[in-house]
Structure 1
Amino acid sequence: MNTPANPRRALVVIDVQNEYVTGGLRIEYPPLAESLHNIGRAIDGAHAAGVPVIVVQQCAPADAPLFATGTPMWELHEVVASRPREHYLRKTLPSAFAGTDLGAWLAARAIDTLAVAGYMTHNCDDTTVKHAFDAGLQVEFLADAAGSVPYANRAGIASAEEIHRVFAVVQQSRYAAVLSTEAWLRHLAAGTVPERDTIHASHQRALAHRGATQAA
């Protein structure tokens, strides 16, 4: 699925807070140092290209086990805190659009393409990607500037790598163009857009892959 060249982009950097680095939700995949490095590269590249950067901060009550407002773990990590931004917002729900002025801010600037980075891939990133898609925006997901943690509950157990990979595959199937930070920076320089896929084509490829594997 192709989109017009020369998009009007913004980069939203979601919840890059100490909680994910030294707190109770330490990102495991991709490696934390890698994702933080790429988040910094994405912000710097956006500024160099004249792309506005929006920083989002998750907030919870003071007695909450995670992201308690005003605590050190709630603070933005220095990779984000030390860099300039065009807009800042706080949220209490997963989507960066929910209960914030993000939609209006983007519309007022005629932004048609939203690049998403930050944490976590399967939670606030994914929810924001789908909210943006439903709002009619083109979406880009910087998969190596994001990350996941492992889960275990009554539904099963999944590693951080499994969760990150599966959510990226699903996003690419319709909702976002999933790409590396390096590839995204090349698109910024060229004024081009990456391609996202379709559910049908993604499914057909999976069937073909399964058939080829079984035949072998």
Structure 2
Amino acid sequence: MSANTTPRRALIVIDVQNDYDGGNLAIQHPPFRDSVVNVARAMDAAAAEGVKVVVVKQMAPETSPIFAKGSHGGELHPEIARRERDHYVEKSLPSAFAGTDLEEWLRANAIDTITVIGYMTHNCDLSTIIHAAHVGFAVEFLSDATGSLPYANSAGYASAEEIHRVVTVILQSRFAAVLDTAEWIDGLKTGALPKRDTIYASNQQALARNAA
């Protein structure tokens, strides 16, 4: 897609399920109560501007501690469940493309750009975005319509804020244009395209910042 071409977008709403809303996998940063409002705003803006909306849901066995089949935690959050959508995808792996018909549906609808929102920044969003970039889609990511949680494991510890911040910086360097919901909605109306960076430019800017 050239810089002068109007994107043919689809909004991909990933795994906005109850377990993230204070459940067994509670989102901490940005807080779920704030980010889910932006998810809803983006869905409403997409509908108003004729952007197709795809809702994705993570599926897990009945014995799983998260997203268990038939559980309240595994169901779509009410704000998402009550809104209209153009396509629905159920997945069992992090990427919304893996083992689903998402790519086929996007191609059939002549989509060249996907805007990713939902959860989590560092897992299903990250996987979906990298997958999309590898199969030729331009990607946008709304950093305030998503969120992360803290991890501690044999590799160390990272807070929710650290994980979210670092992943968004990495995405902006190569894989997606990172912006907030208000900027994205404004761009739908004005046609303004979001800023995209490169690995080299991102590194050069960091070196200049460190030298200052």
TM > 0.5: yes
Does residue 100 in structure 1 map to residue 108 in structure 2?
A: no
How far off is 1:191 after superposition? 2.4
User: Structure 1 regions of 5+ residues with no counterpart?
Assistant: none
| Alignment partner, residue 130 of structure 1 | 130
The percentage of aligned residue pairs carrying the same residue is 58
Q: Identify the structure with bigger relative contact order (alpha carbons < 8 Å, sequence gap 6+).
A: 1
**For residues 59 and 32 of structure 1, what CA distance do their matches in structure 2 show?**
20
| Alignment partner, residue 74 of structure 2 | 74
**For residues 18 and 92 of structure 1, what CA distance do their matches in structure 2 show?**
17
Q: In structure 1, what residue type is equivalent to 2:39?
A: I
How far off is 1:70 after superposition? 1.2
| Alignment partner, residue 194 of structure 2 | 194
Specify the SS of the correspondent of 2:200. helix
How far off is 1:145 after superposition? 0.1
Specify the SS of the correspondent of 2:93. coil
| Alignment partner, residue 151 of structure 2 | 151
Does residue 31 in structure 1 map to residue 31 in structure 2?
A: yes
Specify the SS of the correspondent of 1:147. coil
Specify the SS of the correspondent of 2:144. strand
The two structures, once aligned, show a CA RMSD in angstroms of: 1.2
User: Structure 2 regions of 5+ residues with no counterpart?
Assistant: none
How far off is 1:178 after superposition? 0.1
Q: In structure 2, what residue type is equivalent to 1:164?
A: H
Specify the SS of the correspondent of 2:143. strand
How far off is 1:160 after superposition? 0.3
Q: Could you list the runs of 4 or more consecutive aligned residues of structure 1 that deviate by over 2 angstroms after TM superposition?
A: 2-5
**For residues 9 and 169 of structure 2, what CA distance do their matches in structure 1 show?**
23
TM-score of the pair, normalised by structure 2: 0.98
| Alignment partner, residue 62 of structure 2 | 62
| Alignment partner, residue 90 of structure 1 | 90
How far off is 1:190 after superposition? 1.6
How far off is 1:82 after superposition? 1.1
Q: In structure 1, what residue type is equivalent to 2:80?
A: V
Specify the SS of the correspondent of 1:84. coil
TM-score of the pair, normalised by structure 1: 0.96
| Alignment partner, residue 114 of structure 2 | 114
